[in-house]
Amino acid sequence: MKSLVNTNPLVVFFLVIIGARLINFTSVDSPTVTTIIRIIGAAMCAAYPLSLQQVIQDYVPKKVTVNENFYLINGFVWFAAVAIISTLNVDGEISLTGWKVLPALYVAFAYVYFVTYPAKLLLSARWRREVRLGEYIGDALLMLILPIGIWFNQPKVKRVVHRELDEEGEIVTPNEIT
């Protein structure tokens, strides 16, 4: 996971772009191939936010509340929904009415939370305190438009990751290391 966060932003950019293109892939001859390729595309798009969250949470101060379980559940809900929709609906058209909209709205929330939660962790790790929504909304919006947001967030991530941790897990600057 750490290798994806430390890599060149261009590599991550192409990973997300290719993943986004694969989610919309359609093979007329084989619906099974379409489903498999769409699921691979969703996994490629989910790799960056998931790896970012996994790496950055080690640099967040202990006093900051980290709700990793809710994050992982929402990531699973989004990924499972993409897999189910890709499997059951190969032609690409979905129409929901009535109460069926509620699960779709939760899947939309799960996606937004899955993509934007690493922005909260990133700012908490940079500022070494709990941050509010108003403080990290800009980075969260950059995470939502991932291909563009990678160019702005990746340098911030590298600055946080290249800090050192002491024995208690607190971040120290390289000058403080003895």
Q: What is the DSSP string of 138-154?
A: HHHHHHHTHHHHHHHHH
Domain residue ranges of the chain, discontinuous segments joined by +? 2-176
Q: What pLDDT sits at residue 175?
A: 47
Report pTM: 0.77
Nearest to 63 by CA among 139, 117, 124: 124
Nearest to 142 by CA among 81, 52, 75, 82: 52
Helix, strand, or coil here: 97? coil
Does 151 have pLDDT greater than 50? Answer: yes
84-131 tens-digit pLDDT = 887 777 566 777 778 888 888 899 999 999 888 888 888 888 888 888
Please, which residues bridge with residue 172 across strands? 164
Nearest to 10 by CA among 118, 139, 150: 150
Instruction: Please tell me the least confidently modeled range out of 2-6, 79-83, 166-170.
Output: 166-170
Helix, strand, or coil here: 171? strand
